[in-house]
């Protein structure tokens, strides 16, 4: 069994990106985070992203609004970032306060600065296989497969989860890579029957240890996107300890997909700089 560790994938991508950035000269590639309200996780992620971006030599703008900000005030703040030529990529952090219409907000985001592939425009491009910014977590799954030379072509890919940020885009990306793709979700009856057919299983449901050893075909490749708390520990959607003896390759949690996603976002900011 090969453990598909994210660090070596992230390191390889970082090195390639640093080489590209060296060619940029004195220009400051800058990302912005739009943070609204008091969500603890969003604040933690904003701090983490600021440190990561600055350590990488990028500029960083934090546009923070209080919990009481109106929908229109948040849209205005986003439009200001759209119009700011010194800002190349924008990440609106979720969750936002309940009174914010996040769907409408996201469609006010300039698609050329949409580094996490949230806008309908970029979803359309990704779905059509015409490029565009894709969600970084979905790209991280593909980067892991690519780094470890795991071909998708002709394989049966079973994706568990159909969210706009992971399940759907990774399904379209594996389809574009010539996989035969099945998408499962919470209304799929007899999930095990589908997962068992997967040469590649991508678990993105957010349910701790829901993919058990008896659901995995011997030799399958397992990409675990889930990040969950179970008995005080961070675990994936896959019961790693049991599945590792059956799969030919598997990502750990933590240390798998999550450790690649941030580097993929830094790449997206660079792409936005060139857009």
Tell me the binding residues: 161-163, 227
Between 143 and 257, CB nearer to ligand NAP: 257
Minimum distance of ligand NAP from residue 79's CB (angstroms): 26
Minimum distance of ligand NAP from residue 113's CB (angstroms): 20
Q: Which residues on adjacent β-strands are paired with residue 268?
A: none
- Rounded CA gap, 19 and 258, in Å? 23
Confirm if 182 and 170 have CB atoms less than 8 A apart: no
Between 260 and 272, CB nearer to ligand NAP: 260
Q: Residue 78's closest CA among 98, 56, 101?
A: 101
Q: How far is CA 165 from CA 21, 55, 108, in A?
A: 27, 26, 18
Confirm if 260 and 268 have CB atoms less than 8 A apart: no
Between 41 and 219, CB nearer to ligand NAP: 41
DSSP letter string, 90-105? EEE-SPPPTTS-HHHH
Residue 191 corresponds to which tokens in the numbers above?
Answer: 């999930």
- Rounded CA gap, 105 and 101, in Å? 6
Name the H helices within 107-190. 120-128, 136-147, 167-176
Between 105 and 118, CB nearer to ligand NAP: 118
- Rounded CA gap, 44 and 53, in Å? 14
List contacts with ligand NAP (CB under 6 A). Answer: 137, 160-163, 165-167, 184-188, 191, 204-207, 210, 225-228, 257-258, 261
Minimum distance of ligand NAP from residue 191's CB (angstroms): 5
Between 99 and 185, CB nearer to ligand NAP: 185
Between 87 and 215, CB nearer to ligand NAP: 215
Minimum distance of ligand NAP from residue 22's CB (angstroms): 27
- Rounded CA gap, 31 and 115, in Å? 9
Between 30 and 261, CB nearer to ligand NAP: 261
Minimum distance of ligand NAP from residue 274's CB (angstroms): 24
Residue 25 corresponds to which tokens in the numbers above?
Answer: 């000269």
Minimum distance of ligand NAP from residue 118's CB (angstroms): 12
- Rounded CA gap, 147 and 47, in Å? 29
Tell whether the torsion through CA atoms of 166, 172, 178 and 180 is positive or negative.
Answer: positive
Minimum distance of ligand NAP from residue 179's CB (angstroms): 19
Name the H helices within the chain. 6-22, 40-55, 71-83, 102-106, 120-128, 136-147, 167-176, 191-195, 240-243, 258-274
């Amino acid at each position: 069994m090969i453990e598909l560790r994210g660090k070596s994938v992230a390191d390889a991508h970082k090195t390639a990106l640093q080489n590209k950035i060296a060619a940029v000269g004195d220009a400051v590639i800058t990302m912005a985070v739009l943070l609204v309200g008091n969500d603890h996780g969003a604040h933690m992620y904003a701090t983490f992203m600021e440190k990561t971006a600055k350590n990488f030599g990028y500029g960083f703008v934090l546009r923070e609004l209080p919990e009481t900000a109106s929908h229109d005030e948040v849209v205005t703040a986003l439009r200001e970032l759209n119009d700011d030529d010194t800002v190349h990529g924008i990440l609106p952090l979720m969750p936002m306060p309940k009174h914010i219409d996040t769907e409408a907000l996201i469609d006010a985001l300039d698609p050329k600065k949409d580094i996490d592939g949230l806008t309908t425009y970029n979803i359309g491009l990704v779905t059509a296989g015409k490029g565009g910014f894709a969600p970084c977590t979905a790209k991280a799954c593909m980067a892991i497969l690519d780094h470890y030379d795991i071909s998708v072509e002709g394989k049966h890919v079973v994706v568990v989860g159909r969210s706009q940020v992971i399940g759907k885009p990774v399904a379209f990306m594996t389809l574009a890579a010539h996989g035969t793709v099945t998408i499962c979700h919470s209304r799929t009856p007899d999930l095990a029957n589908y997962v068992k057919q997967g040469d590649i299983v991508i678990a993105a449901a957010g349910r701790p240890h829901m993919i058990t050893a008896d659901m995995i075909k011997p030799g399958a490749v397992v990409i675990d996107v889930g990040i969950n708390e179970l008995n005080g520990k961070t675990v994936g959607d896959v019961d790693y300890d049991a599945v590792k003896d059956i799969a030919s390759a598997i990502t750990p949690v933590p240390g798998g997909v999550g450790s690649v996603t941030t580097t993929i976002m830094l790449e997206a900011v660079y792409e936005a700089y060139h857009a």
